[in-house]
Amino acid sequence: MKGLVFRLLEDAAARGDRVSLVAFKSGVPEAALALRPTRSLARAAECLRRIPLSGRTPLAAALELASRVVRQELHKRPNARPLVVCVTDGLPNVPLHRGHDPLADVLAQARLLRRARIGCVVVDAVPPDRESESCGPALAAAAGGVHLPIADVTPAGFVDVVTRVA
């Protein structure tokens, strides 16, 4: 999965795009801004290498934070073409607020992306034995974006989709 994200970072750097990374804090069910918007491939790659993979998925919080980062970036650079690339197992298990439904929160955040006209590509890395449980297709539909099962993703094809959606 990180290889795919690194390829996207390389492509973005080659075009002079700014990238940011939102990740999940290790051992804590929270999303965190791991990298502020930058054009530096080296900084982005180093940040990506340090991001741990974890079992807790505060996906709604990550989408909320990504949306906030994009809005801040658009305030500074109004001509930017925003795009959120969400690489996920599609199995949200942490709600935005205690007692809420994690899936409902994810879909609500996705609809907010759509309303804000923020492009979205969902790379669905759900394990094959849990494919029917993934919210990836619903997330992409709610965001007005594109759903890509990770098994179908090639680096070149992925960059083409991202370029088309952005």
DSSP code string of 28-61 = SS-EEEEEEEE--HHHHHHHHHHPPP-S---HHH
What is the three-class DSSP state of 115?
helix
Q: Residue 65 sits in which domain range?
A: 2-165
Number of domains in the chain: 1
State the pTM of this model.
0.87
CATH code for position 53: 3.40.50.410
Q: Which two tokens stand for residue 67?
A: 């949306």
Summarised one tens digit per residue, pLDDT across range 56-103 is: 678 999 999 999 999 999 999 999 888 998 988 898 988 999 999 999
> What pLDDT does residue 115 have?
96
Q: Are 137 and 161 in contact (CB under 8 A)?
A: no
